[in-house]
Structure formats: structure tokens, C-alpha cells
Chain A
Amino acid sequence: KNEVEQSPQNLTAQEGEFITINCSYSVGISALHWLQQHPGGGIVSLFMLSSGKKKHGRLIATINIQEKHSSLHITASHPRDSAVYICAVRLATLMNGLTFGKGTHLIIQP
């Protein structure tokens, strides 16, 4: 069983819609990252969270440590938001690198 589960795997929405991507993990973590990857490979770090909520422009990320769950929200979605969104966690155990979810393929249609 993958330690990091993302849902949905694929999401197609219309421009302007409110988007939610979910990430659940099974063990204690010290930090959670949300990453964005556009076709061609480049990865951009959107957020790093250890508690609470962060906002950057139209993007909002929340984390609930007790429930081992994080969400990434996109408000007023735009076709340029089309990308793969990846959740990654750093386990609380020392000497661990990142463990990744399989990603959510998001397509925003004009």
C-alpha cells in the first residue's frame, strides 16, 4: 500500500471552477509538499506545510495533522493551471527522504 494516496487521479473541469485535490498519508510526517509539474518535466514547489493553511494567489493548501490529510484548492481555475499536481511527504522518522503520491492530472478546459 502506497504511504501517500492522492485523489482524484484525473480531473477535468471548466475554466472558473473551484478545484480540490486531496492527499492522505498513513504515517507521521514532519512536512508535506505540494508540487506542480507541467508537460515537459519541470517541477515547481507550490507549498511546504507542517500545520494549518497557506495561501498564494489563487492557490490554498491545508493540512490536518490528526487526520493525516491535506488538500490543495485552486480558485477561479484557468487553462494555465492544467498540470500534474503531486503531494509528497517527509516522514517524521529521521533519515528519510520524500515519499510521493502518484499525482493528479488536472485539465482545465476554456
Chain B
Amino acid sequence: KAGVTQTPRYLIKTRGQQVTLSCSPISGHRSVSWYQQTPGQGLQFLFEYFSETQRNKGNFPGRFSGRQFSNSRSEMNVSTLELGDSALYLCASSLGTGRTGELFFGEGSRLTVL
């Protein structure tokens, strides 16, 4: 069974640009969640989607957005990039949410903003 796939794995952008990251969940998983990891702040929750609906959203500015498609694949977008957006962005998939939500993580997309 294929795991969670994130693309691209590495990318470099400049301030002011935008970026789109993709996450393909494990087949049959309907929940996808996104996280940002930085050395200073550690892991922080961004969004959670279930069956194309955003269930939860973390405390991030509106420049961070996401969506989930009917095949459960998810994308997140960051517009008007800032230096502080440099981070490892991780997604995780699960069958459900809450108590049924054992998480399976992708390898992450490492974003560097120059």
C-alpha cells in the first residue's frame, strides 16, 4: 500500500512569490491535515480536511490556504511569501478524524524563502 506522497520535496522561492504544495493520501483515507515545522516554533497545525470540507484551521494568516479534492488529494497554497515561511511542511492522512484518526505522515516539502 503506497504511503502519503508530498510534492515537491524541496523548493526555493523568493519573497513575494506564491507556492502550492500537494499531498496525496493513502488510498481510502478521507482526512488530510497539514502542519508547519520550524526550528523556533516546532510543529504547528495548519488545516484539516475531511471529504473536501475544511474541518479545522490553525492560527495562521489568510495567506495560508488549502483545499481537498474529491479524490482526497489536498493542496495548500501560501501567497506573498515571507522569509519566516521557510519551513518543513508536512501533511498527514487518516481514515477519519478525532478518535479514529491515527496519522500517517508524508516526508514533507521543505520550502526555503530567499
Interface residues of A (CB under 8 A from B): 30-31, 33, 35, 41-45, 48, 50, 86, 88, 90, 95-103
Closest 8 CB pairs of A and B: A97-B45, A43-B105, A100-B43, A97-B56, A45-B103, A41-B108, A48-B102, A102-B42
Interface size bracket, B side: 20 to 34
Cross-chain contact of B99 among A30, A88, A101 (Cβ < 8 A)? A30
Q: How far in angstroms is the closest Cβ of chain B from A61?
A: 13
CB pair A45–B102 under 8 Å, yes or no, is yes
Residue on B nearest A43 in the bound complex, by CB? B105
Q: Does chain A have a CB within 8 A of B107?
A: yes
CB pair B33–A97 under 8 Å, yes or no, is yes
CB pair A41–B110 under 8 Å, yes or no, is yes
Within 8 A of A (CB), among B89-114: 90, 92, 98-99, 101-105, 107-108, 110
